[in-house]
Each structure stands twice: as C-alpha cells, then as structure tokens.
Structure 1
Amino acid sequence: MSEFVTESIESGIQYICLNRVDKKNAITLEMYQALTHALQSAQSNAEIKASMIYGAGPDFSSGNDINEFLHIAQTPDKMEAIMAFLQMLTRYQKPLIAGVEGRAVGVGATMLLHCDMVVASRHAKLQFPFVQLGLVPEAASSYLLPQLVGHQKAFEILILGDFVESEEAKAMGLINHLCEPGEAFKVAQRYVQKIAALPVEAVSLSKDLLKHKAQDNVQMALMREGRIFKDRLKSKEAYQAFSSFLSRNK
C-alpha cells in the first residue's frame, strides 16, 4: 500500500482513502497500483462486504498528477498501471460507495461513474478537463456519461470541461445524495453500513444484474479510449497543454 493511499477494514467494510492532501489528492502511478491492489484484495476477501472510497482533506481528487504525465508521455507503456486500475474498477463485484468533498477532477470524476452510490458535499464540483489538456475522455466516460445525461449534455461536459456543480450533478444522476460540507464521509459511511448489513450474495448478484448488460460496451469503450489516450499523450497539443498548466501552477 502506498503512503498516499491508506486502507482500513472495520465491520466488514473496506475504507480506501486518497491521502495526498498537499497535492489535492492528485493520483500517481504508485497510487494507481495501490488502489488496484486494495480492490483486488477486497474482491478475494470474503470478510469484506463493501468498499468505500474518499479523499483526505478538502478535495476528493484533482485527477492525474500532471508532472508524472509529462514523463509518461515519453514512456507510454507506464500507462499500464492506470489501465490495470480502470479494469479492476469496472469489474469490481462488491458495492463501492464514494464520499466526495470539494473537487473531483479528471479521473477523480470519471471513477465516480463506476461507483454504485455517490454521496457528495453541496460544495463538491466535478470536472472532466481532458480536451483542455489535449487528451480524450477515459475510464469509459465517453460511453457512460451519454447513457446518463444524453449526447448533447455529455458533449458539453466532456468537451468544454467546465465544472459541474453538485446540485446539477445530482439532477443528472451523477450523485445520489448531497450533504453539508464536511459531512460526506459520515453520510457515505451510513449508506455503506446499511448495504453491508444486507444479505451479501443477494447484493452482489443484484449489482451484477444491474451492470451486466452494459459491461461489454464499457470494456470496449475503455480499450478504445486507452489506445487513443496513449497516442494523445505524445501529441504536441498535450505537451503544450501540460506545460501551460504547470507554468500556471508555479
């Protein structure tokens, strides 16, 4: 487990925390590997009935670490760690609940599309800024988002990359429940505890029934996005966008 991804297990519930507060929980390759390992271990552990993911500090996650992406662009094979996590996330069989405070950006937003329930603070904001970075959507968001909100709205969200406020995200079905700022962990925990108290096999089978029909389309979207995303990392547009982003942050 990475020092920036912590895990605890309590009463049959796995709690996964993105814990890189000084970088707004930006996700590194090492963190992807830790997240994959956490889900894999929970999948094979009969004592774990459900999982919950949340971010330490005021934000859920600012997405991928852009500094690392500049290096990945030179060695795109390193993207395998990211793809391994996304594969695990999309195939995870147990209930996965998210507690979201503040900003959920990039993969911090797209991973929520694969969670079974999302609880978010009223101050939460979702952003999918892939095109602004010279990239394309990932984590099968090019398939899942239009299914939820329709083509036109998905186009606006994914192409313009503006923040989606929590109230709008809830109205579109991206968030289940809103809560007061600072309460996302506690409210999400309440829901995951209710789920963990239900008959385990019935919950797992029901989740499979809900996701089964779309699973092939999700996997195809994931693979197609991954190939294009990998190529885009080497593009001039992406390099210029990354450099501009880093210079602004400095």
Structure 2
Amino acid sequence: MSENLVKKTTKDTVLVLEMNDPAARNALSRDMLSGLSAAIGNVGADILSIVITGGIDCFSAGGDFRELKGTSEDLDYDDAVSGVVALILASDRVIVAAIEGPCMGAAADIALACDYRVAGAGSFMQIPAVRLGLLYSPAAIERIRRLYPRDTVRRLLLAGERFDAHEARRAGLYSRVVPTGESVSVAVRDLRKLDWRQADAVRATKQLLSDLEAGQADTDHWQKRRIELLDSEQRHIAIKQAHERFVDKHGPHR
C-alpha cells in the first residue's frame, strides 16, 4: 500500500518522490510516511539528489486525522514523522522539497528538514499545532529553532501563522519562489546539473554541513577527507575538463 502512496520517477541522477493521495490532500498517513522512509532510505548509488513533492495542487495537509486519536497514543505517529526527518538529515544526497499549495503541520516539519525548498507562488506553510491544543514534538521544535530565525519560529509555532509563499521566502522558510506549478521542474532542472564527477564532493559537503548543524563536526576527519578528494580521480577529471573549457573559450596560456 505504501508503495502506491509514493510515486517514484528518476530523471538522470535525480529521484522524484511524489506523495500521491490527492483525495486526502496527501495527508501523512502511517503508510505514506513508511513509503517515504523506504524510498529515502534505500536510494540507489546512481542517485545524487531527491525531490520530495506532493504534485501540482497540494504538498500535504499534514497529519492524517483519520489515524490520530488526540491522546498520548499518538506518540508513535510522532515517531514515524521523526523517522522520515532523521533519514533526510542523515542522507548524503541533496534533498529538496518542491512545494505547491498547502504545506502544513508534519509536512512542514519534513520540508524544513530538507536541504532547501523551492515553492510555487501559490503555496503556503503553516504549523497550527497550538490551535489544536498541542505542544508540537520537542525534538522537532529544537531543530527548527536551531536552523531558522527566532521571530520566524515563534510566528510559526506560537501563533500558528500561515506564511504565504513570498512571506515564507522573506522569513527564511522558503529558499526560492517560482511561478505556480513549476517547483518540481525548477528543482529537477537545477539538480540535474550534478553528475558523477561531483558525487563524492556533494556527499562529503552534505555530511559536513549536517555535522556542523548538529555541533558534531570533527575538524581533523574533514580535513583528511578534503585531502582525499583533492587527490581523487573525480577531482582530476573535473579540473581537466574545466581547463579544456577555458582553453576553448580563451585560447591557451601564453
């Protein structure tokens, strides 16, 4: 069942994961969350980046209230959302949220865990937990507080404010706003520029950024990794090709 709820499309080195339950506005059921976890956790070696989307109408309305009881029994649901977030944060692939329409609650939590967000102009983001009498997941609040501006976090979590696309961009929640309906195509177009020559550098940079954000970066380890990349075949080929492009454009050095 979870496989049907997450459609997979590969475009060169980009894997597009589309949440696919339009009748429920892509509400994050446990099966949907399981499908996302499986797809992110088992990505092929040939994939450099992932785009998570809900299609052209709705990213996701958030938690699936058909499965929530409104009691402490819902803690296992929080664990399922946290599992998807943890996989995004731990992945060495570039993961981008392509947002159209509503991006609410747990879906906003997932989108904010991605490396960046490309959003259609008609989209919005909201975490209305307090309006439902809920203290949102403390672990999620800690992470969001650490990564996003103070006033933005308070507006998002204390007031449950709805950020339209342009306000979300100004507030630092969205990375880029594009015409409505174009978020996936723009994200894929940009990510397709990466190829196998950059694979090790992309993955190392993603892991270093994650370590730095978590306050766990080992400087000696990353300096050693940098030296390994400087001496790698990928680096040698990339520099050789860059030199050839320069010569083609400017002529040989004199």
| Same topology, TM > 0.5 | yes
Q: CA deviation at 1:216?
A: 5.6
User: How far did 1:213 drift?
Assistant: 1.8
Deviation by residue 1:92-121 (Cα, 9 ceiling, x = unmatched) = 221001111011001111112211121101
Which residue of structure 2 aligns with residue 157 of structure 1?
A: 156
Q: Equivalent residues in 2 for 1:134-149 (5 A)?
A: 134-138=133-137, 140-149=139-148
Equivalent residues in 2 for 1:22-171, closer than 5 Å: 22-42=23-43, 45-70=44-69, 73-74=72-73, 76-77=75-76, 79-138=78-137, 140-171=139-170
Number of residues paired by the alignment?
Answer: 215
- Alpha-carbon distance in 1 for matches of 2:95, 2:3: 20
Q: 1:77 to 1:177 in 2, by over 3 A?
A: closer
Asked whether the equivalents of residues 100 and 119 of structure 1 are also in contact (C-alpha less than 8 Å), the reply is yes
SS in 2 for 1:187: helix
Query: Partner letter of residue 98 of structure 2?
Result: G
Taking a change above 3 Å as real, the CA distance of residues 140 and 90 of structure 1, as seen in their structure-2 partners, is farther
Change (3 A) 1:216 1:133: farther
Once the two structures are superposed, the pairs formed by residues 198-217 of structure 1 within 5 Å of their partners are 199-215=198-214
Check the 8 A contact 1:51/1:96 in 2, yes or no. Answer: yes
Instruction: Note if contact 2:149-2:172 (Cα within 8 Å) is conserved in structure 1.
Output: no
Higher relative contact order structure (alpha carbons within 8 Å, sequence separation ≥ 6): 1
Structure 1's 23 and 178: CA in aligned 2 closer, same or farther, altered over 3 A? Answer: same
Deviation at 1:122, TM superposition (A): 1.0
* RMSD between aligned residues: 2.3
Counting aligned pairs with the same residue, the percent is 25
Kindly report which structure 2 residues correspond to 1:216-231, keeping only aligned pairs within 5 A, or say none: none
Does structure 2 retain, via aligned residues, the 8 Å contact 1:111–1:139? no
Counterparts of 1:186-205 in structure 2, within 5 Å, are 186-196=185-195, 199-205=198-204
The alpha carbon displacement at 1:12 in A equals: 2.1
Q: Which runs of 5+ in 2 are unaligned?
A: 217-254
Look up the equivalent residue of 2:16 and give its one-letter code. Y
> Aligned with 2:3: secondary structure?
coil
Pair 1:137–1:60, CA change in 2 (3 A): same
Distance 1:156 1:182 in 2: 27
Name the CA distance, whole Å, in 1 between partners of 2:7 and 2:151.
Answer: 38
C-alpha deviation, 1:142, in angstroms: 1.7
8 Å Cα contact 1:148/1:172 also seen in 2? no
Paired residues of 1:86 and 1:139 also in contact (CA < 8 A): no
Which residue identity is paired with 1:3?
A: N
- Length-normalised TM-score, structure 1: 0.78
Deviation at 1:161, TM superposition (A): 0.5
Q: Letter of the aligned partner of 2:37 in structure 1?
A: T
Classify the secondary structure of the residue corresponding to 1:169: helix
